Structure 1
């Protein structure tokens, strides 16, 4: 084997060992989006989850980098954002906010907020649950009055 090939192999092995020493961190943020049918700001039996609702999650890392995520709810009304990165660059603080509901009867943002701020100080592999975002119909059904 030539000297150049040996040098390349040694450099590759050193790079692999260096990257193996970096401690990885994994975080997850999830929450639900619900149609608050009666507009009472409580989730009750008349309310239902919203599939396909869009949520934005903005996080600032310990190193000051700003990361912007976009997520959509599944059939259970749940959205999830997850990331694996070096421990030194993990999330520090985040803001989750509803963007839109594609449900034709439930499109007005409810519960009076445009977003939820929180610090993210959980260890690797743990998840933060954001309280549900509520949307309301333009007109509440008569049984709500």
Structure 2
């Protein structure tokens, strides 16, 4: 059995396990994250952080074209939210918008201000659809004092005062200017002495030709690459574990929720061996997705996004665990567009 057959067999086992647990029925899931735009520049930057306790509403057009609210959720302590809609509705014309916030979770960043975002379809299988929404923002009343001045709109300058109307009083006549005295002509300067010609320098010796430069090595981080967990566990590819190492603890990398579920002693290398059970499959594919996100900038998931989806799945149902594991599995296989760009380590 080659690698592709193993991959499809694993996907079949995951789907069959999910179907046996709760059964398959159609529904759509929309997820996203809300950030506090501290500098009020209208985008997520280095100064912003995920916002807890923020209400997000999903508005969709009805038969008359009027926008109506279909659902409303509150973000968790990671700033994430998730909405579920039964059936397989068309969410192409819907818009997710921050509505209001609670003072406890937002710490003074609950006045809204960001524009709505339309959900994007990320995954569809067995009448189940997974949508994602680009980051939403909520803004404080005033920018923070540490923000650069160019990050938020500057106040308009004071308008120029209108010119004072001319006085109606008569202007006195000035006396005429006296003529300038006559200056004597400038004396004629003597000619410069004749300078001798510059001596001719000998020609410079010819330098030997420079040796040709070796070809530039490829930059793996800029290439589109996605590798399954089998490749990451091979000894000849051990050098690609750069940002995190196999002995790192799962609880340290993925946070407290993962530590409560998997324990504080399990390592990433041990988690890569898990199979046959939804939560172990999620840990294996989540760890693989995190490694791929650090190895290639074109990987579908950002490292922070992998950790957020991992924790969101662990806080949900078993079926949500299976859906997240399937999404990671598809991304790690390249979705039919990327291949594994590993070269054996020297």
TM-score bin (small chain): 0.5 to 0.7
Equivalent residues of 2:118, 2:133 under 8 A apart: no
Q: Report the 3-state secondary structure (helix = DSSP H, G, I; strand = E; otherwise coil) of the residue aligned with 1:108.
A: coil
Counterpart for residue 128 of structure 1: 131
Unaligned runs of 5+ in 1: 1-22
Counterpart for residue 97 of structure 2: 97
Q: Report the 3-state secondary structure (helix = DSSP H, G, I; strand = E; otherwise coil) of the residue aligned with 1:69.
A: strand
Q: CA deviation at 1:104?
A: 4.0
Deviation per residue, 1:96-127 (Å, 9 max, x gap): 2111122241122233x2x3345769633331
Q: Write the mapping of 1:1-145 to structure 2, written as runs, cut at 5 A.
A: 24-59=25-60, 68-85=70-87, 90-92=89-91, 93-102=93-102, 103-111=106-114, 113=115, 115-117=116-118, 123=124, 124-144=127-147, 145=149
Question: Which whole-Å CA distance do the structure 2 matches of 1:51 and 1:58 have between them?
Answer: 21
With the length of structure 2 as denominator, give the TM-score of the two structures: 0.30
Question: Which whole-Å CA distance do the structure 1 matches of 2:69 and 2:108 have between them?
Answer: 32
Structure 2 CA distance for partners of 1:138 and 1:58, relative to 1, 3 Å: closer
Equivalent residues of 1:91, 1:120 under 8 A apart: no
Structure 2 CA distance for partners of 1:119 and 1:131, relative to 1, 3 Å: closer
Unaligned runs of 5+ in 2: 1-23, 63-67, 150-346
The 10-residue stretch of structure 1 (101-110 or 135-144) with the greater mean CA deviation from structure 2: 101-110
* Higher share in helix: 2
Deviation per residue, 1:1-58 (Å, 9 max, x gap): xxxxxxxxxxxxxxxxxxxxxx832211111111011112232232111111001113
Q: Which has the higher contact order (CA 8 A, sep 6+)?
A: 1
* Higher share in strand: 1
Equivalent residues of 2:51, 2:77 under 8 A apart: yes
Q: CA deviation at 1:59?
A: 4.0
Q: Report the 3-state secondary structure (helix = DSSP H, G, I; strand = E; otherwise coil) of the residue aligned with 2:109.
A: coil
Question: Which whole-Å CA distance do the structure 2 matches of 1:67 and 1:135 have between them?
Answer: 19
Q: CA deviation at 1:139?
A: 1.9
Counterpart for residue 8 of structure 1: none
Counterpart for residue 267 of structure 2: none
Structure 2 CA distance for partners of 1:44 and 1:117, relative to 1, 3 Å: closer
Query: Which one has a bigger Cα radius of gyration?
Result: 2
Q: CA deviation at 1:77?
A: 0.4
